[in-house]
A and B are shown apart, each in its own frame.
Chain A
Amino acid sequence: MAHFKKKQAKSGANDIPTASLPDIIFMLLIFFMVTTVLRETTVQVRTTLPKAEALTKIEQKRLVSYIWIGPLKQGLNQFGPTSIQIDDALVEDMTVIRSIMYRKWQEQPRLIVSLRVDETSEMGVVTRVQQELREAGTLRINYSSKRDISNL
């Protein structure tokens, strides 16, 4: 019993040292602050992305510019005609795309245009957008799609 008591006394206060706790938490905090991308645009069109297998990842997010194509959201579960959205605004006239994208391309020559197209869209509109992208010279595109889990 004496031996037992001695051992306990030796170890002293057995609290977890909390002095470095703020540092650890700050470390985590900084990690999440750096990785967070606050969403700056509200998407006004529905884009249910298609599923695919041959996917590649876009590593450099700052090179990416998005074009959303899909039915316009009009209230709960109601959708309008297929519309195109770039940044925060809907595109009415297709020919505007080339000047918008050309400006973006001048700022970032390695621009990747991510096409987030709703799976129910028709190819006609996608092809027209692609023609505009060719006019603008932004040739690197990416058909945004989700991983097909059913095949795995």
Chain B
Amino acid sequence: MALLKKKERSEAEIPTASMADIAFLLLIFFLVTTTIDVDTGIGMVLPPKLEDDVEPPPIRERNMLKILVNETGQVLLEDKPSGVNMIRDEVVKHVTNNGSDPNYSVSPTSAIVSIKTSSQTPYDTYIQVLDEVWMGYFNIWNSELRRMGMGGVTYTEAPDDVKVAIRKDYPAAISIAEPDDLEQ
């Protein structure tokens, strides 16, 4: 009996003293390798591929705000040379016209902004122009938010259902026309 008692083992234990050190090492590894960068960019939805026999729907001239960008990055806004920074206000004027000025759109839902580039246009300029157009729409949406009594938040911070409601009244119809001189 005495022999048996002697044999009884002490409870097996994993040494936990170094546990924190091991965890720390792993932690530091993942800390170093982690890149918490959020992908940002300008979102667009391309138009679906047109069937050959289907004609694109007709658009009234006044509903379309034409922006042309040439190979040197110069901008033609409704056939008038202008600066990139003027696009924003012009977009706001065009979309929120509601039929008052015959040169601009009939209603916000029918307003279209068309951007056409040449195939040598620098991408940087194109993004600047597109950015300005989007900022025009953001300004419209922000003033719409203020009108709804939600002036404290900007459009990007607004809840999704509000966004959907605003975009139903003021849809961002941006058309990207293909360059004429595109090689196939």
Chain A residues with CB under 8 Å of chain B are 18, 21-22, 25-26, 28-29, 32-33, 35-38, 50-58, 61, 64, 112, 114-115, 117-124, 126-128, 130-131, 133-135, 137, 139-147
Which B residues are in CB contact (< 8 Å) with A120? 122-124
State in angstroms the CA–CA spacing of A71 and B23 once bound together. Answer: 42
Chain B nearest CB: distance from A140 CB in Å?
6
Q: Flag if A134 contacts B30 (CB, 8 Å).
A: no
7 interchain residue pairs of minimum CB distance: A124-B119, A54-B134, A32-B30, A119-B124, A25-B23, A52-B131, A144-B41
Chain B residues with CB under 8 Å of chain A are 16, 19-20, 23-24, 26-27, 30-31, 33-36, 38-49, 117-124, 126-128, 130-131, 134-135, 137-138, 156, 176, 178-179, 182-183
Residue of B whose beta carbon sits closest to that of A21: B20
Q: Flag if B46 contacts A139 (CB, 8 Å).
A: yes
Chain A nearest CB: distance from B35 CB in Å?
7
A-B contact pairs, 7 of them (CB 8 A): A55-B42, A56-B42, A123-B126, A135-B49, A143-B127, A145-B42, A145-B127
Q: Flag if B42 contacts A123 (CB, 8 Å).
A: no
Chain A interface helix/strand/loop/mixed: mixed
Which B residues are in CB contact (< 8 Å) with A55? 40-42
Chain A nearest CB: distance from B15 CB in Å?
12
Kindly count the residue-residue contacts between A and B in the assembled complex, taking CB atoms under 8 Å apart: 150
Chain B interface helix/strand/loop/mixed: mixed
Q: Flag if A29 contacts B27 (CB, 8 Å).
A: yes
Which B residues are in CB contact (< 8 Å) with A146? 40
Q: Flag if A145 contacts B41 (CB, 8 Å).
A: yes
Chain A nearest CB: distance from B92 CB in Å?
13
Q: Flag if B39 contacts A57 (CB, 8 Å).
A: yes
Q: Flag if B41 contacts A114 (CB, 8 Å).
A: yes
Chain B nearest CB: distance from A102 CB in Å?
12
Contact of A145 among B34, B40, B138 (CB under 8 A): B40
Contact of B41 among A22, A26, A139, A142 (CB under 8 A): A142
State in angstroms the CA–CA spacing of A37 and B30 once bound together. Answer: 10
Which A residues are in CB contact (< 8 Å) with B117? 123, 127
Among the interface residues B135, B137, B182, which one has the most CB atoms of the partner chain A within 10 A? B182
Knowing A134-B46, A134-B47, say if A36 contacts B39 (CB, 8 Å): no
Q: Flag if B34 contacts A32 (CB, 8 Å).
A: yes
Contact of A56 among B31, B34, B41, B45 (CB under 8 A): B41
State in angstroms the CA–CA spacing of A127 and B41 once bound together. Answer: 17
Knowing A29-B23, A120-B122, A134-B48, say if A143 contacts B33 (CB, 8 Å): no
State in angstroms the CA–CA spacing of A35 and B44 once bound together. Answer: 27
Q: Flag if A127 contacts B179 (CB, 8 Å).
A: yes
Q: Flag if A52 contacts B20 (CB, 8 Å).
A: no
Given contacts A56-B40, A139-B47, A143-B44, 15 further A-B contacts (CB under 8 A): A18-B20, A25-B20, A32-B27, A50-B127, A56-B42, A112-B43, A119-B127, A120-B122, A120-B123, A122-B121, A124-B119, A139-B45, A139-B48, A140-B45, A141-B46
